[in-house]
A and B are shown apart, each in its own frame.
Chain A
Amino acid sequence: MRTAFTIAWRDVRSAYTRPVGYGVTAGFLAVSGVVLVTALRGGEARLDGWFAPLFVLSGVLAGLLSMRSFAEEEAAGTLEVLLTAPVRPWEAVLGKLLGVLGVFAVVIAGTLAAPVLVAAMGDPDAGPILTGYAGLALVGVAFVSAGVAVSAATRSQLVAGTASIGLLLALWFGSVVASTFSGRVRLVLEYLSPSNHVTGFLRGTVALVDVVYFVSFTALAVGAAVTIVANRR
């Protein structure tokens, strides 16, 4: 476990001792600010209209952050060192996952300025803000896990990033495709789409099924990443 934390800390430090980490963070926060301006145009002190696009953007962010995890090591030629070191595959994956999540957490922490500002100007319902961030955390962990798995499977950062973002957006908008079907097929497709599992977080409710969905998503993605890394050794 200590090895995983060492890998994670090295990756977080690497991100924030180079301009790219700050650039991604500032870029995401600027976009989230623009989304906030749009969301508040309705004249109500509510943030569900801000969180909803933020969930989609978090998929893009997860893809951008996680594409570096294994693919960058591959490009730098350090992956072989990592895989041949006395590090278990799950430790390597967990370390990479925690590293990306550390950066993700810093970025999301930067968005806290939005609810603080809205609370200073009006009287928003605190419940949906809390559940919005809870949802963002669950979605973030799940999406980053998927991104790490894709990164582990490819040698190119570009391919990893594109594939991660493409996969997550396809899953997200799968609910649109689902609505063209009927019966059980529609139910299953709807269930598989993460967009159908964030509605509760937006309105201020936390449903067990949504939590289990994102935990399952994470478990399967991490499992896939561990299997891929183990096979690459």
Chain B
Amino acid sequence: MTGRVRGPRRAAVAASVVVAMVVVAMVVVANVWAYGTGAQADLSADRRFSLTPETREIIGRVDAPLRISVFLNLEGGTARDARFLLARYRERNRRIDYRLVDPDQQPGEARRLGVTTYATVVLEYRGRRVDAPGVDEVEISSAILRLLRGSSPTVCLTTGHGEWTLDDTSRAGVSDLAELFANNAYETREIDLAGRASVPDACDVVALLGPRVPLLPEEVDALGAYATAGGRLLVAASPLSTTDPNPLLEPWSVRFVGGLVVDARRSEGLDVSNLIVERFPTTNPVVEGVPRLQFPATGGLLADSEPARGITVSELAATSDAGYIESTPDDGIVFDAGADVPGPVLVAAAVDASRIEEGGERRLRTGDAGIVRTRLVVTGNAEWFTNEFLGRLGNRRFMTNALAWLAEEEGVLAAPSRVSTVRPLPWTAERQATVVAVTVVGVPASVLAVGLGVWFVVRRRERPRAATR
């Protein structure tokens, strides 16, 4: 009898255990799968907690513990936003850890890391340290990128010829470009080549950002020697300048022909010289992801049809077929077949010149010899990266790509435009009184009043029943 009862019961228990194990296994599998997908929907304004593909790529490259310490006041929305953002980094790579520290509450920790001000972000990775200027995605990711690189390329900016200065915040200035350099982990350095025989060794890239007066012969020689020795040049020529960049460019099979490029079919509004460039003739990393460019007051470029041996010229950007180079814009914008150059007109080009030399870059085992690689990016315009135009169309991306290509960086950030996330609600005495009156008193009191009413009704109904009984 006992055996007959125990048998089915034991079977039922065994079945329950098996079912439970299967359910638990399914739950574990579902959670591991969901954890691995990283899928999420971002309903926040401007999707500000969706990390860019560049950031995700950078996060994926972190292969050792990376600690982010944010020093700020822990009260308020800024700290919460910082926590939300950094949580996204950790969610994607658990090697990334973060903490928020109030330097007033933990002065010892602040002192240890040499932090004296709020809103300081310290990133530590493989014994190295990089400070980020703030807690937003671009700044954090750029700092991680610098840590991953191990060093920051230096962009040297020539001075002394009326070039743009990085601290000019006017529409015609280039302070946004300075921010782009910083956000993408580039050091910047101004160099005055007058009286110098060579470009400083520290320069990974030399940028001539719109010189307005001619370069001295020794400066041209120094830059030429730098380029020949595997240097990287970013040359922004301008038809509005008296500088002739051709002594620098011609050895590399590119020429600046000046004039004023006009394109009635691809320009903004009625200004036919304010070009909207949509033609990117060659596939090149510099124009990757660039939808369109805005180039105002541009001069034309010419690339040699048969470049010298070892030199590759990529035509980066050109006008439509309707564009042309107006050689005498002061006499009116009318195409003159005899004097003007018909389109499509080249307005940006990239040069890659490689040769094998002793002591060159050695990625392949070729004895002591290696590749000496010269790279140039040339634009016929020196306005496209000013504060007024850098954020237009794909100009920012174009600059970011150009810097990355010149410095042979593998991954950099095209800094997204920043969105104001603060939604002010000044906490006045009147507002406080309203909130207290409604939420602390009004709504709960209403619920209690309804409850009281229901209780009375129920009691009144129950009394006659009790009396009947």
Which single residue of chain A is at the shortest CB-CB distance from B442?
A113
A53 within 8 A of B: no
Within 8 A of B (CB), among A13-56: 16-19, 21-23, 25-27, 29-30, 32-34, 36-37, 40-46, 48-49
- List B contacts of A34 (CB < 8 A): 440
Within 8 A of A (CB), among B36-52: 37-45, 49-50
Within 8 A of A (CB), among B423-469: 423-427, 431-432, 434-436, 438-445, 447-448, 450-452, 454-455, 458
B416 within 8 A of A: no
Provide a sorted-by-A list of 5 A–B residue pairs whose CB atoms are within 8 angstroms: A16-B454, A19-B455, A23-B451, A208-B34, A208-B40
Does the CB pair A125–B45 fall under 8 Å?
yes
Q: Which of B41, B423, B439, B442 contacts A205 (CB 8 A)?
A: B41
Q: How far is the CA of A203 from the CA of B35 in the complex (A)?
A: 19
Knowing A19-B455, A22-B450 touch, does A33 contact B439 (C-beta < 8 A)? yes
B80 within 8 A of A: yes
Does the CB pair B16–A219 fall under 8 Å?
no
Q: Which of B31, B49, B434 contacts A212 (CB 8 A)?
A: B31
Of the candidate stretches B22-30, B164-172, B345-353, the one touching chain A is B22-30
- List B contacts of A30 (CB < 8 A): 440-441, 444
A184 → chain B closest CB, angstroms: 10
B197 within 8 A of A: no
- List A contacts of B368 (CB < 8 A): none
Which single residue of chain B is at the shortest CB-CB distance from A223?
B23
Q: How far is the CA of A40 from the CA of B423 in the complex (A)?
A: 12
- List B contacts of A208 (CB < 8 A): 34, 37, 39-40
A25 → chain B closest CB, angstroms: 5
* Chain A contact surface mostly: helix
* Chain B contact surface mostly: helix
A140 → chain B closest CB, angstroms: 18
B422 within 8 A of A: yes
B59 → chain A closest CB, angstroms: 15
- List A contacts of B432 (CB < 8 A): 37, 40
Does the CB pair A127–B45 fall under 8 Å?
yes
Q: How far is the CA of A128 from the CA of B41 in the complex (A)?
A: 11
Of the candidate stretches A66-74, A115-123, A146-154, the one touching chain B is A115-123
Q: Which of B42, B75, B435, B441 contacts A40 (CB 8 A)?
A: B435
A6 within 8 A of B: no
Does the CB pair A207–B43 fall under 8 Å?
no
Q: Which of A41, A118, A191, A204 contacts B44 (CB 8 A)?
A: A204
B62 within 8 A of A: no
- List B contacts of A117 (CB < 8 A): 434-435, 438-439
Does the CB pair A42–B77 fall under 8 Å?
yes
B401 → chain A closest CB, angstroms: 29
Knowing A113-B438, A223-B20, A223-B23 touch, does A123 contact B454 (C-beta < 8 A)? no
Does the CB pair A36–B448 fall under 8 Å?
no
Does the CB pair A199–B434 fall under 8 Å?
no
Does the CB pair A205–B451 fall under 8 Å?
no
Which 5 pairs show the lowest CB-CB distances between chains A and B?
A22-B451, A204-B44, A33-B439, A127-B43, A33-B440
Does the CB pair B440–A45 fall under 8 Å?
no
- List B contacts of A118 (CB < 8 A): 425
Q: Which residues of A are in contact with B by a Cβ distance under 8 Å?
A: 16-19, 21-23, 25-27, 29-30, 32-34, 36-37, 40-46, 48-49, 110, 113-114, 117-118, 121-128, 130-131, 187, 191, 199-200, 202-209, 211-213, 216, 219-220, 223, 227
Q: Which of B42, B80, B436 contacts A49 (CB 8 A)?
A: B80
Does the CB pair A204–B49 fall under 8 Å?
yes
- List A contacts of B458 (CB < 8 A): 17
- List B contacts of A43 (CB < 8 A): 424-427
Q: How far is the CA of A179 from the CA of B451 in the complex (A)?
A: 45
Q: How far is the CA of A200 from the CA of B444 in the complex (A)?
A: 29
Knowing A34-B440, A117-B435, A212-B31 touch, does A220 contact B43 (C-beta < 8 A)? no
Does the CB pair B451–A19 fall under 8 Å?
yes
Q: Which of B31, B43, B434, B454 contacts A204 (CB 8 A)?
A: B43
Does the CB pair B423–A17 fall under 8 Å?
no
Q: How far is the CA of A204 from the CA of B425 in the complex (A)?
A: 19
Does the CB pair B40–A207 fall under 8 Å?
yes
B306 → chain A closest CB, angstroms: 55
Q: How far is the CA of A130 from the CA of B44 in the complex (A)?
A: 10
- List B contacts of A207 (CB < 8 A): 38-40, 91
Given contacts A49-B80, A187-B94, 13 further A-B contacts (CB under 8 A): A19-B452, A33-B440, A37-B432, A37-B435, A40-B432, A42-B76, A43-B426, A124-B425, A125-B44, A127-B43, A128-B43, A199-B87, A227-B16
- List B contacts of A41 (CB < 8 A): 427
Which single residue of chain B is at the shortest CB-CB distance from A127?
B43
Q: Which of B77, B87, B94, B435 contacts A46 (CB 8 A)?
A: B77
Which single residue of chain A is at the shortest CB-CB distance from B450?
A22
Does the CB pair A26–B422 fall under 8 Å?
no
- List A contacts of B94 (CB < 8 A): 187
Q: How far is the CA of A128 from the CA of B452 in the complex (A)?
A: 35
Which single residue of chain B is at the shortest CB-CB distance from A35?
B439
- List B contacts of A18 (CB < 8 A): 455
Q: How far is the CA of A27 from the CA of B34 in the complex (A)?
A: 37
Which single residue of chain B is at the shortest CB-CB distance from A213?
B31
Does the CB pair A205–B443 fall under 8 Å?
no
Q: Which of B24, B87, B444, B450 contacts A220 (CB 8 A)?
A: B24
